């Protein structure tokens, strides 16, 4: 009988210890989760409060055009020619400075493409689609295959006149059709590394999370003008234009 009572006492003590220990662990876990949440909130706040002063999501050099934000009509802006391509006149000098900077570093560059009208994009899209149909695809298959390699009219950033396709001359000579592998060349790496010094960013980076944001696979040749201050901030914080504009809007700008 005494042994039975002793056993019950031991079991009761064990149960009490288990309850106390469980409560302690629960409180500790809750505290850690709260700390993690606070840390994340602080990081988010830090990013937002660190945004460049005076910048707004509606600024002309931050206009966002992609498949989720297509243009319904042509943009109206003054155009200029540089290196044989057309661009928004406000970035002509920046493009020239970018090329001159590369030249001073020992690299010759080629400007391959600049402004494209929505109408021109329609023609490009239809031509590629017709070629796909000629190769035996159905209309639906040709549409899908074309959309995989050509931006739908209205969705191309080239409509803004703020984007240029630029490559080191040696890289372009090996990859005239423009391929991501052009970044194997020192000339292309220089352009990517120093773009922000002239107000440009590599618009379509290679990280998977960023590809998901832009909706475009990695393009080592496509540079977008956003202004020097914006470009340096975006590079420093590894932001796509989509993420940067979103952060500005969330900050009420």
Q: What is the mean pLDDT of residues 216-220?
A: 93
In contact, 195 and 219? CB cutoff 8 Å: no
Total length of the chain: 253
Largest distance between two CA atoms of the chain? 103
Q: Give the model's pLDDT for residue 49.
A: 67
| Dihedral angle, C-alpha 161, 125, 239, 193, nearest 10 ° | -70
Tell me if 64 sits within 8 A of 242, measured CB to CB: yes
Are residues 111 and 230 located together in one domain of the fold? yes
For the chain, give the mean pLDDT.
Answer: 86
Q: Is the pLDDT of residue 176 over 80?
A: yes
Q: What is the pTM of this model?
A: 0.78
Structure tokens given for 33: 């989760």
Instruction: State the DSSP string of 166-180.
Output: EEEHHHHHH-TT--G
- C-beta atoms surrounding 135 within 10 Å: 10
Question: What is the predicted pLDDT for the residue at 148?
Answer: 76
Average pLDDT over residues 34-62: 66
Structural domain ending residue among the three candidates 50, 72, 91:
50
Residue 46 predicted with pLDDT over 50? no
pLDDT tens track for 183-205: 999 999 999 999 999 999 999 99
132 within a domain of the structure (yes/no): no
Which of 204, 192, 203, 196 has the alpha carbon at shortest distance from 228? 196
The average pLDDT across 20-46 equals 42
How far apart CA 162 and CA 248 sit, in angstroms, is: 20
Output the pLDDT for position 150: 82
With tokens 């295959």, the residue in question is: 145
Residues spanned by the domain of 40: 1-50
165 and 240 in a single domain? The answer is: yes
* pLDDT tens figures, 235-248: 999 999 999 999 99
Residue 146, domain member (yes or no)? no
In this structure, are strands 163-168 and 109-113 parallel, antiparallel, or unpaired? antiparallel
Over range 141-161, report the average pLDDT. Answer: 91
Q: What is the DSSP letter of 183?
A: G
Same domain for 45 and 10: yes
| pLDDT value at residue 151 | 85
User: What's the CA gap between 34 and 170, in Å, rounded?
Assistant: 54
Rounded Cα–Cα distance for residues 150 and 153 (Å): 9
**Does residue 9 lie in a domain region?**
yes
Q: Does the pLDDT at position 91 exceed 70?
A: yes
pLDDT tops 60 at residue 10: no
Mean pLDDT of 151-161: 94
- pLDDT at residue 36 greater than cutoff 80: no
Considering only CA atoms, which of 229, 218, 238, 223 is closest in space to residue 190? 223
| 16 — pLDDT class (breaks 50, 70, 90) | very low
- Give CA separation, 234 vs 60, 156, 205, in Å: 17, 21, 12
Picking from 9-13, 47-51, 116-120, which range would have the lowest pLDDT averaged per residue?
Answer: 9-13
Would you say residue 105 has pLDDT above 60? yes
209 contact partners, CB below 8 Å, separation of at least 6: none
The residue-averaged pLDDT of 136-160 equals: 91
Whether 7 has a pLDDT exceeding 50, the answer reads no
Total domains, the chain: 2
pLDDT at 28 over 80: no
Q: Do 15 and 33 share a domain, yes or no? A: yes
| Last residue in a domain, options 15, 31, 50 | 50
Q: Is the pLDDT of residue 80 over 90?
A: yes
Q: Are residues 105 and 177 in the same domain?
A: yes
């Amino acid at each position: 009988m005494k042994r039975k009572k002793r056993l019950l006492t031991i079991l009761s003590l064990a149960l009490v210890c288990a309850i106390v220990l469980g409560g302690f662990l629960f409180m500790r876990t809750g505290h850690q989760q709260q700390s993690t949440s606070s840390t994340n909130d602080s990081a988010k706040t830090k990013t937002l409060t660190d945004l460049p002063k005076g910048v707004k999501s509606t600024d002309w050099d931050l206009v966002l055009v992609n498949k989720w934000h297509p243009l319904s009509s042509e943009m109206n802006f003054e155009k200029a020619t540089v290196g044989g391509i057309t661009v928004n006149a406000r970035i002509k000098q920046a493009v020239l400075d970018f090329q001159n900077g590369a030249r001073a570093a020992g690299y010759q560059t080629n400007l391959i493409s600049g402004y494209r009208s929505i109408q021109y994009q329609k023609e490009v899209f239809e031509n590629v689609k017709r070629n796909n149909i000629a190769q035996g695809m159905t209309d639906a298959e040709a549409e899908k295959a074309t959309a995989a390699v050509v931006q739908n009219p209205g969705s191309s950033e080239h409509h803004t006149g703020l984007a240029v396709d630029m490559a080191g001359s040696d890289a372009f000579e090996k990859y005239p059709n423009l391929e991501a592998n052009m970044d194997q060349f020192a000339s292309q790496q220089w352009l990517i590394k120093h773009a922000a010094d002239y107000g440009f960013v590599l618009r379509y980076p290679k990280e998977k999370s960023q590809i998901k944001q832009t909706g475009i696979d990695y393009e080592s040749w496509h540079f977008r003008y956003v202004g020097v201050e914006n470009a340096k901030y975006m590079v420093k914080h590894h932001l796509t234009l989509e993420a940067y504009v979103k952060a500005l809007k969330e900050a009420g700008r």
